[in-house]
Amino acid sequence: MKTFGCIRKAGLPALVGIIASGLLLSGCSSDRKLDPFAGKGSPKYSGLGPLPKGGGRRHVGKPYVVAGRTFTPTARPQAVQVGVASWYGPKFHRRKTSNGEWFDMNYLSAAHPTMPLPSYVKVTNLENGRTVVVRVNDRGPFVGTRIIDLSRAAAKRLGYLNKGKAKVRVEYLGEAPLGDDRRRLARLNRLSHQPAYRIAAALKGRPVAVAGVPMDKAMTPPVEVAGMAAAPRRAVAAPGYFVQVATFADPANAEALRRRLAAHGPVRTEAVEVNGARYVRVRMGPFASRDDAALAQARAAEAGLPGARIVITPAGG
C-alpha cells in the first residue's frame, strides 16, 4: 500500500479529508500525488515479465478537488505551460494509472492534473535544454505549483533525476493511441529536438502544414524590393490558418521578428499597403487546422506577443 509520508506538509485536516474520500495516493520522487479516478486502491500487476503497454481508456473527467484545490480536466488543454516538474518511480512501479494502464517507471510517461488521457507532450528542461516526448496517462502532481510528474526514465532523460525537480516547458502535441505505442513514441522522440509543431504534424501523419506544401516551402523568404530593403516579395497566400503576429512600417523590424519566431513554427513576412502606406506584416503559418494555429498562437504569446490572433486565408486570398 502507498505511504502518505510527504503530504504531511499539506496539513492534518487535508490529509484526513483525503483519506475519508478514499482517494488513491500516488506520487513523485520526494512527494506523493493523489489520483481521484482509480478508486480505493491501485492494483499491482501480478504477471511476470515486462508490463503490457496501452490497454487503458480515453479519459477526461469532471472537475475534482484535492487538498482544497480544484482541478478541471479538459479535452482542449493549454498549448504551452511553464513550471516545475517532479518525478515518481519505484513506489508506484507496476501499478495502475488513472486511465487504467500500468505504470512503468522505465517508460517515457507522465502524470498531469488536467490533460486528456492518454496524450503526448513535449517536455523541455529549461535549465539544461534537454527534451523528451512522453505519454501522459496519469493524474498529478498535486503539490504546490508543480505542473507535471514524469516517470523515472523521463526525468533521467531530462537530467534532473538526482535533483528531483526542474523548471520545464510542457507543450501539448495531441492524443496518444490506446494500444502499444512503443514504436511511435520512439519515433516522436527522434524528433524531440524539433519545434513542437513539427512533432505534432508527425503525430498526425502529415509532414506538411498544408496538403502538398512542405513546411519549409510554405514560408515566404525575404527578398529585396525597390525602396524597401529586406522586404518580402508579394506572394499569393496559401490556403489555411495563420497567426497574425504584428505589422511594421520598418521592414528590418519585421525581419528581426521573423527570425525570432522561426524556432516556433513556419513564419513569413508579407508586404501590404494600407491607405497608400507600405507596411510589412509578420504571420506564422500556414497551418492545416485551427488547433495547429492555436498552438502557434500560444507560443507567440509565450514569446511576448499576446496580441497575436488567428486568421484564415482562402486559396488565392
Q: Which of 192, 218, 242 is the last residue of a domain?
A: 192
The residues pairing with 214 across neighbouring beta strands, listed in sequence order, are 208
Are 38 and 182 members of one domain?
yes
**Domain for residue 201, yes or no?**
no
Are 142 and 291 members of one domain?
no
Are 168 and 227 members of one domain?
no
- Angle, CA 70 vertex, CA 68 and CA 76 arms, to 5°: 160
Are 80 and 163 members of one domain?
yes
Q: What is the CATH number of the domain that holds 222?
A: 3.30.70.1070
**Domain for residue 202, yes or no?**
no
Q: Per the structure block, which three cell numbers stand in for 28?
A: 513523485
**Domain limits at 107?**
5-192
Give me the number of domains the chain comprises: 2
Q: How many CB atoms lie within 10 A of CB 99?
A: 22
Are 17 and 111 members of one domain?
yes
Are 180 and 226 members of one domain?
no
Are 33 and 166 members of one domain?
yes
**Domain for residue 200, yes or no?**
no
Q: Is the peptide bond before 118 cis (omega within 30 degrees of 0)?
A: yes
Which pLDDT tens digit goes with each residue over 169-213?
999 999 999 988 999 999 999 999 888 888 988 888 754 333 333
Closest CA to 298 of 81, 114, 83: 81
Which pLDDT tens digit goes with each residue over 127-150?
999 999 999 999 999 999 999 999
pLDDT of residue 315: 53
Are 151 and 72 members of one domain?
yes
pLDDT of residue 41: 56
Closest CA to 288 of 241, 219, 237, 218: 241
* pLDDT, averaged across the chain: 78
Are 45 and 164 members of one domain?
yes
Q: Which ranges of the chain have pLDDT less than 70? A: 1-41, 206-239, 315-317
Q: Per the structure block, which three cell numbers stand in for 45?
A: 500487476
DSSP secondary structure letters along the chain: ----GGGGGG-HHHHHHHHHTTPEEEE-SSSEEEESSS-S--PBP-SSSSPPP-----B----EEETTEEE---SS--SEEEEEEEEE-GGGTTBB-TTS-B--TTSSEEE-SSS-BSEEEEEEETTT--EEEEEEEE----STTEEEEEEHHHHHHHT-TTT--EEEEEEEEEEPPSS--HHHHHHHHTTTTS-HHHHHHHHTT--EEETTEETTTTS--B--BTTBTTPBPP-PPPSEEEEEEEEESSHHHHHHHHHHHGGGS-EEEEEEEETTEEEEEEEEEEESSHHHHHHHHHHHHHTT-TT-EEEEE-TT-
The one-letter code for the residue type at 314 is: P
